[in-house]
A and B are shown apart, each in its own frame.
Chain A
């Protein structure tokens, strides 16, 4: 209250009010003098003379004003500006350091905002959006939700504003001789309305359009698709676009800057739920409570918490479990905040961004320590100026304020630079992340006001971090002592020296942490390069062939595939070729099925399941996967012939316990298959996975219209592509191969998270070491300069060069060792963060720790040697002066 009143007072006492009051006073006084017999002009003059200097009075009466504070701040800024201008080297260095620190933070903030917190541009109220996934009692992980369940949840909910159902899908669009995958989405009819995005042309979907089997072939296309494929045709509404072999009427164009609601992809089209079968190979799921495919969101009503909403939805699920025990036993739902969405790329990005955040915060701390050090050095040089200011009456708090103002100006400049950097780095994540299936991922940073505010906060905190201690230490000047002599007998300098050593210790510790992180990832990366996934990665190319989109049914697709594989094998340079539904290490969800084996009794509450692949006859030869027992698939494993399977070694050991599975039976879903061979185990998804059972079934007995094509050839993709396109065109002019790349490339793409973390750690680790070395050099150089008299004395008394070097080096190495000890402990604690990225490397790998320590020691040694050598050249005569 007091403060507010004072503030109001200071405004009521502003200049205008005072002038009016003074005028009134002068008038009264003049009248008095006139009454006493003076002439009006004399009276006026006398009154003014008596009033005294109006401005002086004004100044004094304004003593307690806020304006004075503002005035001071302005003066501090002006003074600070001059001081910074006078030492351009320091200023530029400090701003660069801070720009790096703040910029790196702002960039990571912008990624976190754009990918995790508010990932969907133009979508309203994203803080009230939550992802919905299904749960299965007793089973970890998540499932999708069935359409009938979704509708029932929606009907009985009172706490939810909107249910937004969708499922990512895609179609193959031909561009010249290249088949391009266009990601899109199957959505509930309320989609555009519910997320608050109004199509810029045409309309969204109507509620009728979400029912009926393939009944409403309509689509809303993205702004980008409208531009690229229709050249921004203003009369596009009502025209048709082929999607998965069926013409769809374009009813709307989404606004510019809207990419859908799936982290990682920019969707190009949306279709209503009724078109679901068209995009799921004809399987109709809208009336099937057991078909779980919806990955949806709910927007909660304002003020409703996640727990309340989840409780309500769970209540509905319990009722459904009672009503439909066959399909819903044990089924529930769970809500997650957007940044934890399990079904898009948000979840995958969380750990990477977590590491990024730790790295950039370390970099910020290092930059702060460095600038703090620079400030202390400069304070040493400014001692005289500060002493004079202090002796002519500046308060100590005034001095600290001056120093903080200067620091604030530095970090404000750096913050501006940092935002520019962050803006430039907005797409860096997408750049480091390889395309998937030919689609470039969309992982943008978002520089909105929240990110700017967070960066400003970082800037202020950083200022306090690097400037407060130096300011306090610097301003603690013993006036009497300092004025007596300025020859270096400056008190407080020891405290400053200790502070500087502490700052360098922090820098060394943090750079060690970053180096250890970088080292672990490098070792892990090398391990991955050398690792054998169990299939050939050189001399094999992979691509995709989509006959479904071209309008083929399963039977025709089979014939097409048979003819195509013959033509591909006939291409000169091709040694073998085979189809499969899944390419190992692909992002496509792997196929998994419940299994049973004769003679294997699983624990009662468990239903064993295994991943599998559907492959053509020459698959094992082409992929270089040895068959260790029995035989591979042949063309004779046909429809009508006995259904067969090949299991991998892991499965053989797990289910047949060392016995020979060949000739035994395996039940997959409801079909019994005869095991005809055992294949060597491979890594099927990534290098990090453990040993899991895996089996193969023949493509000819389980036909699929969309397949991957593996080709064994010494040719590169560029050399093979033209002949491949020619052979496919010869069969059907409407079908083109998808992206054609080497298996090596395909495998390498799965290491994107490692690559992002590695790039960051190497770049910042190197910067950190350089900064720490510079900091250490500064401290050592200053120490040598300050103790020159002492050194001179020692030399005069007969100290050898080696003694002097040892003396100086010992100082530097003490700081280094302290930093290394602190850093090693910190690294021990933090490298566990990297755990999920590490392949075959322990987070506390001694070799990596040793290497990082060696690098730090080498850098520190180099930083100490020059000052040490300079110390040996100290003139012994100095001791006498």
Chain B
């Protein structure tokens, strides 16, 4: 019980979803994940490094992603993350949850 798994709250959940989605396209290092999220969202979403790395650690502990040291094209050692089977399930779940949530939110917005 030393290392109790914490339940991710809603905000963390969003970052998790984005990270999982990026990794579902293939392994990537931390910087690459942040850069991808930013460029795909046209810089609407900005990932705080201070949140990203703790999130990566946590997801690693939860067994959704795994990390490996690899050598990049310009010969630098980088920690590369990839999705695990559990991570794929997690991605599907969180995507459903997000879809439901955003559907709900937009319905309310439309109504008001």
Residues of B within 8 Å of A, CB-based: how many? 24
Q: In the complex the two chains form, is A21's CB within 8 Å of B35's CB?
A: no
B76 at the binding interface (Cβ < 8 Å): yes
Of A6, A17, A20, A52, which contacts B49 at CB under 8 A?
A: A52
Q: B35, B54, B76: which contacts A27 (Cβ < 8 A)?
A: B76
1/0 per residue, CB under 8 A from A, across B46-60: the answer is 001110011011101
List the B residue with the shortest CB-CB distance to A28. Answer: B31
- What are the residues of chain A within 8 A of B53 when measuring CB–CB? 18, 21-22, 57, 60-61
Interface: B18 (CB within 8 A)? no
B31 engages A60 (CB within 8 Å): no
Interface membership of A63, Cβ < 8 A: yes
Q: Which of A7-15, A126-134, A348-356, A716-724 contacts B (4 or more CB under 8 A)?
A: A7-15
* 8 Å CB interface, B6-53 against A: 29-32, 34-35, 48-50, 53
Judged by a CB distance under 8 angstroms, whether B112 is at the interface is no
Does A69 lie at the interface of the complex (its beta carbon under 8 Å from any beta carbon of B)?
Answer: yes
Taking each of A9, A60, A64, A65, which has the highest tally of chain B beta carbons within 10 Å of its own beta carbon?
A64
Which residue of chain B lies nearest to A52 when distances are taken between CB atoms in the complex?
Answer: B50
- Beyond A24-B79, A29-B31, A57-B49, whether A6 also contacts B54 by CB under 8 A is no
* Chain B residue at minimal CB-CB distance from A32: B35
Partner of A24, one of B50, B57, B77: B77
A50 close to B (CB within 8 Å): yes
Q: Give A50's nearest chain B residue, CB to CB.
A: B49
User: A564-590: which residues lie under 8 A (CB-CB) from chain B?
Assistant: none
The listed residue (A9, A10, A25) touching B30 by CB distance below 8 A is A25
For residue B30, which residues in chain A have a CB less than 8 angstroms away from its CB?
Answer: 21, 24-25
- Give residues 640-682 of A contacting B (CB, 8 Å): none
- CB neighbours (8 Å) of A5 from chain B are 63
Nearest A residue to B57 by beta-carbon distance? A61
Which residue of B is nearest A62, CB measured?
Answer: B57
B2 near A66 with CB under 8 A, answer yes
Roughly how many angstroms separate A377 CA and B28 CA in the complex, as a whole number? 59
A56 touches B50 (CB 8 A): yes
Minimum CB–CB distance from B61 to chain A (whole Å) comes to: 5
List A contacts of B35 (CB < 8 A): 28, 32
Q: Report B16 CB to chain A, min CB distance, Å.
A: 14
Tell me, yes or no, whether B3 is within 8 Å of chain A by CB.
Answer: yes
By beta carbon, the residue of chain B nearest A7 is B3
- Which residues of chain B are near A51, meaning CB under 8 Å? 49-50
Of all chain B residues, the one with the shortest Cβ separation from A5 is: B63
How near does chain A come to B39, taking the closest CB pair, in angstroms? 11
| Interface contact A64-B61, CB-CB below 8 Å | yes
Distance A13 CA – B67 CA, assembled complex (angstroms): 10
Q: In the complex, are the beta carbons of B57 and A13 less than 8 A apart?
A: yes
Q: What chain B residues lie within 8 Å of A485 (beta carbons)?
A: none
For B60, what are the chain A residues with a Cβ–Cβ distance below 8 Å?
Answer: 9, 13
Contact check, B31 vs A52: say whether CB atoms are below 8 A apart: no
B residues less than 8 Å from A139 (CB atoms): none
Inter-chain CA distance A50–B50, complex, in Å, is 9
Contact B48 A52 (CB under 8 A): yes
B61, A25: Cβ atoms closer than 8 Å: no
Residues of A within 8 A of B77 (CB): 20, 24
Cβ of B58 and Cβ of A17 under 8 Å apart?
no
Assembly CA distance A63 to B62 (angstroms):
13
Most buried by A among B29, B57, B58: B57
- A57 CB contacts on chain B under 8 angstroms: 49-50, 53-54
**Contacting pair B49 A24 (CB below 8 A):** no
Q: A24 touching B29 by the CB < 8 A rule?
A: yes
A558–chain B nearest beta-carbon distance, Å: 83
Q: Is the CB of B54 within 8 A of A24?
A: no
Which residues of chain A (740-765) have a CB below 8 Å from chain B?
Answer: none
CB distance from B64 to the nearest CB of A (A): 12
Contacts A9-B60, A57-B54 given: A24-B78 contact, CB under 8 Å? Answer: yes
- The chain A residue sitting closest to B58, CB to CB, is A64
Chain B positions within 8 Å of A21 at CB level: 30, 53, 78-79
CB-CB < 8 A to A12: which residues of B?
Answer: 67
Interface centre among B56, B77, B79 (most CB of A within 10 A): B79
Instruction: Sample 15 A-B pairs with CB under 8 A, ordered by A number.
Output: A12-B67, A17-B79, A20-B77, A21-B30, A21-B53, A21-B78, A24-B77, A25-B29, A25-B49, A28-B35, A51-B49, A52-B48, A52-B49, A52-B50, A66-B2
Other A-B pairs, 6, CB within 8 Å; known A22-B53, A28-B32: A9-B60, A21-B78, A28-B31, A52-B50, A60-B50, A63-B58
A residues neighboring B (CB under 8 Å): 2-3, 5-6, 9-10, 12-13, 17-18, 20-22, 24-25, 27-29, 32, 50-53, 56-57, 60-66, 69
